[in-house]
Amino acid sequence: MQLEGLHHVTLITGDARRNLDFYTRLLGLRLVKKTVNQDDPTVYHLFYADELGSPGADITFFEYPGARPGRAGAGMVHRITWRVGSEEALAFWAARLGTEGIPVTWVDGRLRFHDPEGLELELAVTGTGDEPLVAAHPQIPAALALQGFDGVRAYAADPEAGRDFMEGTLGFAPAGPDAAWDVRGEARGGHYELDEAPAEPGAGGAGTVHHVAWASTMEDHERWRGRVVLAGRSPTPIVDRFWFRSIYFREPGGVLFEIATLGPGFTVDEPLEQLGQSLVLPPAFEHLRERIERTLTPLPGPASPAQHG
């Protein structure tokens, strides 16, 4: 029983329009689901991913309009790394970001920059052999596009405190002498690393990560919950999110983890070619549609056919 790498990473934004522009127009991801936070249906939940809406490429945002900027601290993710396919791709992204006035830095052959709300992003050539998870975009050749997540880095007061849980309970494999791990299933893998937290405490808000989700098969999901219970991490009951099922708990360093299933997927309620084009509500929220639509930030229309087929 192994987790299939990252499923999705969920963050907070204070400006859905700017967020949509950055992640779709600039980074070339596809908006694959426009819905609401199921724990607070007055706010958006926007999902960006590859062309198919695949787990492993799915960065998602809750919009709290005007939310104050946050700051990563202990128990919070501070960097998200995407895979790209080549050094040529890194050069392409350095130039593309530069034309937008976005500063970039090179660290150990990786390209780092920040989104409009301060979240640190990184592009890396990793050579894992995993299937590239690519979205179509008229200005970004497929060979140079983002290929899905490689991993995340978080802060912890004691990075070593969670080693037994990460390795014994979740089945992650050590990836170096420090608090770094890889996890690999049959199709995909992912990376998780902990850094010593800064002295200044973190603060949730715009530009911060809310939680990190790891992928499970439907068949193994309940057994993962049982393992987490035995480890004393007090997971939630299984929550039906309609497009996947989830459990939530905090790893010993304080980061909110989710284990989410690989199905049913985003095409369970709309055709692949129409993903992200209209507000979609899980059946349990459909009776609230009129009220919900009045509260949400108006967003531009769907991408052109030239972008998403």
Give the tens place of pLDDT for each residue, 27-54.
999 999 999 999 999 999 999 999 999 9
Distance CA 28, CA 164 (A): 38
Distance CA 31, CA 58 (A): 10
The answer to whether 194 and 253 have CB atoms below 8 angstroms apart is yes
Q: How far is CA 10 from the centre of its chain?
A: 5
Q: Is residue 142 a part of any domain in this protein?
A: yes
118's CB contacts (< 8 A; 6+ apart) are 69, 70, 206, 207
Smallest CA-to-CA distance from 48 within 78, 72, 80, 75 is with 80
Residue 118 has pLDDT above 90, yes or no: yes
Q: Is residue 133 a part of any domain in this protein?
A: yes
Distance CA 222, CA 261 (A): 10
Question: For residue 98, which amino acid is it?
Answer: G
Q: Is residue 1 a part of any domain in this protein?
A: no
Residue 307 has pLDDT above 60, yes or no: no
Segments forming the whole domain that contains residue 138: 6-308
* 209-216, strands of its sheet edge to edge: 30-37, 40-49, 58-63, 6-13, 209-216, 256-264, 244-250, 239-240
Query: pTM score, two decimals?
Result: 0.96
Give the tens place of pLDDT for each residue, 187-215.
999 999 999 999 999 999 999 999 999 99
Instruction: State how many domains the chain has.
Output: 1
Which CATH number covers residue 58? 3.10.180.10
Give the tens place of pLDDT for each residue, 119-157.
999 999 998 999 999 999 999 999 999 999 999 999 999
For residue 50, give both structure tokens: 């590859």
Q: Is residue 104 a part of any domain in this protein?
A: yes
Q: Is residue 56 a part of any domain in this protein?
A: yes
Distance CA 302, CA 272 (A): 13
Distance CA 37, CA 39 (A): 5
Instruction: Please report, in angstroms and rounded to a whole number, the separation of the first and last CA atoms in the chain.
Output: 37
Q: What's the burial of 188, exposed, middle or buried (CB within 10 Å: 0-12/13-18/19+)?
A: buried
Q: Is residue 14 a part of any domain in this protein?
A: yes
Q: What is the pLDDT of residue 302?
A: 59
